[in-house]
Structure 1
């Protein structure tokens, strides 16, 4: 849980330090931005290189910049950026107090929607539903925690499981969501945690250009996932040197990026984070009367990212992330409240990945990747001087190669193969399981234009698991209509999805099976000039789910999840303000695990509503964020009512109102950011579930966060800020 706190604060500060700039009138620069047809270009970002002065173009393509740090006689470079166009640079000599009526033509769009739409690697947008793609700035502005996982929980159909930190998507388990970094699987995305308290994101959003969650109906390229995938795409080579320090009462974070070759060909990025949460825990009392921190969490994390663009066609990436976490906690025995139970959690995680991308031409792209994850989770429980050890070690290596190729006009193929080698050792007290699992997946997917604005993707994926000793074959398709302006999209998706089982100690290792989910989705999406709307209806049918008793386990379980997701995002209506609204209705039932019969799924909230907004004050030097999250109570089993009432009761509804305040300023050549944030301002008790005594069904305790509120204050110092990077562009678009 405390790892969540540390990581989310780290990410918030690490990224948002760039959203600075106060404006005062001295020199005015204005003009109009147009395309090749002399039509106005709205939403383009216009800024002065190496200055804190910028503006967005309005619906008529007009912009106006007022700067207080320029004077007559200065020579500047005016930069214009708009997604889909080539960036434009103008050299300007300032004469007097104004430079007006500039005419800036961005030329022809890089990608045109209609006939050329598929011809330009827009294939991913056609192949997959990707309505919820987030930049690192979206992660910051989209939630108070500003971590990858927390920001996703403000999207429809997505809930962050309070007691683990995992994402439950459309009535699914946390492990049914898979995370991909540049197309490769990230194992163990959620960090270490103690019982009942959430772990946090292992990877910082600052690493990524885009993070997209696909709630269902995803491409045949992605397997071993029943509910959803989160695709994280890294940024390109760092364009300039910069050094960032984050200082807080309990952590120190340093991030450095350094180009090592001219013309943005190579760069090295290094990060180190040290966190000792004891400082916070000793000064602010927790809110649970049965559980507390004894020491820590202590966390040490280091990462290295090497990027080399050998040419425009050949690109290499190597990423390494290594972390160590230790948490000591105390809890009271539910049956004997004077008896203390100690626990010590230790986690060691090494993640290394290398990828090579070769674009032979505009119509052919090869990908090669390899990664390795070594992870050790160890928990030592103590009672009356006796200790019980739980330990899980796994070592997973993935190999993947793929080909994207144009077969003929408006038809592309995406095909590939991946292979996993997994060694795992599990110890739970006096029980242990050791196993080796090799897993292979082969997929092929065609994307084509059927007629005018009608597109289709159809694919198949086959898998074989040496552990399960079985193969599966699933089909997937998506048909959608896009209007000429690429503003309205309506479509239908269907697919079969499989996932390997987890290991149960009392299961027969020779009688395992793949779990299966069949997705049916009908969707409508709208996107235009700062506004996004999405409406989705879905039905998910589960089969081959795990069932167990104390004596045996099998895969005869089943279930369903069905519902409605609505999302609206508006950055246009109000000046200097963006707000986001989501609503989800999810009906989910299963016969699963120890369920005696089909019953409401224990992680599902039937109704979920979120509202978040960001507003910049005082010429954008001050950014205010407000976040409200409502979730109806989750089902739970009250053993006092008997098995016939399994999961018939619900925990109280959850209301969470949070806020943050970000103040940006400059000291000489350094950009400063002062952050203050409060989670759960009203201090509402968020009860996720209940733990019952094994001896008395009328004795129970709440499963709740250790801290109802969390306060943070910190300072980020950035050296070497350069306006010529995508992160700045995205920040300016949000202002």
Structure 2
């Protein structure tokens, strides 16, 4: 009996083994690269195996007939194949297509520097970077000027990018354009931006080729995204010889809403008493700024409201360039009111909506007077001197509404489409003559982010615009491509057309005689990045069309043109030197344009051929102190003296300024004062006391020129910043290690 059982068992075992069929093969990706650890199973069964280090798999199955074999691996799309199992071993090979994911997919990087949590690989400047950039004094644009593409222009506010004027760069907050992003200024002295870097969580500095979702910026867009809910409630206070302020941010107990308010008062009287200024200020610069916010979390989104009000008063005298005894007195009073509300919501089924509304009004009251040595108004027998007397009262209103819909396509590809409407109203009274401009501006846009693979992506879009004041329309196509060349490295190509209305001062006489000014952008860039280092190189060519020409007869027309081309390099490194963070940027710019009163294509007065910046930051934890240095350099910029000759201008004098050099330093000491967390900040610009000349002003006859310099060679700042509820000191330490 025992022998019979052994024999029967042997027969049954042999039968079972003969009934099993072996399935084997390999698993690779679409480029023929081995995929180890892939799971290969017969669908709806327990039979399967795992690919080994060379991508080979092998297993046996009892299944018979028509079956489905499934191969899957993390990061790849699942593949199924039909097989027929009979009595023969089966060999089947799999080629898995890589799954396109947000973490692995390539992104278009040409033409933009991004900062924020969403795209850490592209992060360039965080809020802390802006606050600790030496010489920037916590001004967003001052920090952005250390990036390639931006020019070191100190005699007027604005961001000058790749041969473009300040007017050709626009700032956007949560999608809507900001009409007056800088404080009121006086001639030959730049003003700082109105908005604190603490307001924003994300920043995109576009040096060219920006998204079709934005428009009316010929050269560049600075796109800012405000923060959502704060982490917790806090109170803040600041004290210095220049500014005092306080703020409160309150987070609801359920952490679904928050509100906040801030106020700052700036008066430079005490500072000017210590640091002498070249102009004679008869009204010391004085600023009142206040802002408030409210944020609420919705079912699947966020509503954010922000409002700000600013008032300023500045008055100064300078010697009149056409006289040995007379003076030019200039005064400006400014009131600015800005409001922005936005709503983002996930609508489900791959749909999202982002809509916003903003309203701003800006009022300037300014005058210029010729005054005698006793500082009283006077007149002369010379018309070219008396014509300098003027008064201007100006109001600029801008109302906007904008809506963008997002629809997710297959994978992570998304199509964006929407529209916006602007109503602009300007009322200017110049020497008791009124000039009114009204414009109804509308735009439609659509753009698709297409991810073909994790290594290849495209952004294709177009924008349609119509302006009632010039009675013109345009269509602007924009195309971008990005290809991942290796892990952490990629290349991008961008082409786009960009339009912008002429500035208001050209539109007062006959606006319909003018059309859009236009620029065509071509960009190529290479970027290689990891968690601690970023290398970026970009070449560009920009062609200008239909620029405004202003001949002596004051009949303006769109006959101007020009170009800008160059190469830019950026390197940021937090790895090589322990505890040291630095970045280096360099820009080469070749640009010429014929516009305004230029008689031919000339290098513009705001464009330097070579520009470079080195920013170095070192935080020493033992003493809780950060030391920051910024060195900026630019070759001399051209200057011209034009003289009318019939219906055109000739160049009477020209040259180049001396090279620009500026070494800035700041330190941040973190401590506690009672129950408050404290940061003591000290900074100075132009440490080496370099003679900085931005250009020249000419007298009426052109026989004398005067250098345009800063009001004082250096600017000093010492301030104390307190917070209750949030310890920002640890953030400063963590972000600088």
TM over 0.5: yes
For residue 479 of structure 2, give the secondary structure of its aligned residue in structure 1: strand
Which of 336, 350, 364 is the aligned partner of 2:337?
Answer: 350
For residue 549 of structure 1, give the secondary structure of its aligned residue in structure 2: coil
2:574 is the alignment partner of 1:568 = no
Q: Residues of 2 paired with 1:622 and 1:728: CA distance?
A: 12
Report the counterpart of residue 592 of structure 1 in structure 2: 595
Q: Residues of 1 paired with 2:161 and 2:672: CA distance?
A: 42
Report the counterpart of residue 715 of structure 1 in structure 2: 720
Any residues of structure 2 matched to 1:67-78 within 5 Å, and which? none
Residues 544, 557 of structure 1: 8 Å contact kept = yes
Report the counterpart of residue 294 of structure 1 in structure 2: 282
Task: Report the more deviating stretch, 662-671 or 437-446.
Answer: 662-671
For residue 181 of structure 2, give the secondary structure of its aligned residue in structure 1: coil
Q: How far did residue 503 of structure 1 move?
A: 2.5
Deviations 1:32-77 (A, max 9, x none): xxxxx9xxxxxxxxxxxxxxxxxxxxxxxxxxxxxxxxxxxxxxxx
Q: How far did residue 306 of structure 1 move?
A: 0.6
Q: Residues of 2 paired with 1:335 and 1:653: CA distance?
A: 28
Report the counterpart of residue 624 of structure 1 in structure 2: 627
Report the counterpart of residue 548 of structure 2 in structure 1: 546
Report the counterpart of residue 495 of structure 1 in structure 2: 496
Q: Residues of 2 paired with 1:731 and 1:378: CA distance?
A: 45
Any residues of structure 2 matched to 1:252-267 within 5 Å, and which? 252-262=244-254, 264-267=255-258
Q: Residues of 1 paired with 2:440 and 2:730: CA distance?
A: 43
Q: How many residue pairs end up in the alignment?
A: 614
Structure 1: which 5+ residue stretches go unaligned? Answer: 1-36, 38-112
2:700 is the alignment partner of 1:699 = no
Any residues of structure 2 matched to 1:216-231 within 5 Å, and which? 216-231=208-223
Which of 579, 586, 608 is the aligned partner of 1:605?
Answer: 608
Q: Residues of 2 paired with 1:435 and 1:115: CA distance?
A: 53
Report the counterpart of residue 677 of structure 1 in structure 2: 683
Which of 135, 139, 163 is the aligned partner of 1:144?
Answer: 135
Report the counterpart of residue 318 of structure 1 in structure 2: 305
Report the counterpart of residue 265 of structure 2 in structure 1: 274
Question: Residues 601 and 127 of structure 1: is their aligned pair in 2 closer, same or farther, counting only changes over 3 Å?
Answer: closer
Any residues of structure 2 matched to 1:11-160 within 5 Å, and which? 115-118=99-102, 130=114, 131=122, 133-145=124-136, 146-160=138-152
Q: Residues of 2 paired with 1:229 and 1:435: CA distance?
A: 25
Q: How far did residue 466 of structure 1 move?
A: 0.3
Residues 658, 679 of structure 1: 8 Å contact kept = yes
Q: How far did residue 127 of structure 1 move?
A: 11
Deviations 1:160-214 (A, max 9, x none): 4211121100010001111111111111111111110001110000111122201
Q: Residues of 2 paired with 1:464 and 1:143: CA distance?
A: 43
Any residues of structure 2 matched to 1:187-198 within 5 Å, and which? 187-198=179-190
Q: Residues of 1 paired with 2:426 and 2:642: CA distance?
A: 34
Task: Report the more deviating stretch, 333-342 or 582-591.
Answer: 333-342
Which of 225, 230, 236 is the aligned partner of 1:244?
Answer: 236
Question: Residues 488 and 564 of structure 1: is their aligned pair in 2 closer, same or farther, counting only changes over 3 Å?
Answer: same
2:669 is the alignment partner of 1:651 = no
For residue 398 of structure 2, give the secondary structure of its aligned residue in structure 1: strand
TM-score norm. by structure 2 comes to 0.80
Q: Residues of 1 paired with 2:134 and 2:491: CA distance?
A: 28
For residue 687 of structure 1, give the secondary structure of its aligned residue in structure 2: coil
Q: How far did residue 159 of structure 1 move?
A: 1.7
Q: Residues of 1 paired with 2:485 and 2:693: CA distance?
A: 45
Q: How far did residue 529 of structure 1 move?
A: 2.1
Report the counterpart of residue 361 of structure 2 in structure 1: 374
Q: Residues of 1 paired with 2:525 and 2:652: CA distance?
A: 34
Q: Residues of 2 paired with 1:162 and 1:436: CA distance?
A: 32
Structure 2: which 5+ residue stretches go unaligned? Answer: 1-35, 37-96, 115-121, 372-376, 379-388
For residue 149 of structure 1, give the secondary structure of its aligned residue in structure 2: helix
Residues 158, 170 of structure 1: 8 Å contact kept = yes
Q: Residues of 1 paired with 2:413 and 2:640: CA distance?
A: 52
Deviations 1:327-353 (A, max 9, x none): 011111101132122111111000011
For residue 215 of structure 2, give the secondary structure of its aligned residue in structure 1: coil
TM-score norm. by structure 1 comes to 0.80
Q: Residues of 1 paired with 2:730 and 2:671: CA distance?
A: 16
Q: How far did residue 685 of structure 1 move?
A: 1.8
For residue 160 of structure 2, give the secondary structure of its aligned residue in structure 1: strand
Question: Residues 647 and 361 of structure 1: is their aligned pair in 2 closer, same or farther, counting only changes over 3 Å?
Answer: farther
Q: Residues of 2 paired with 1:467 and 1:225: CA distance?
A: 17
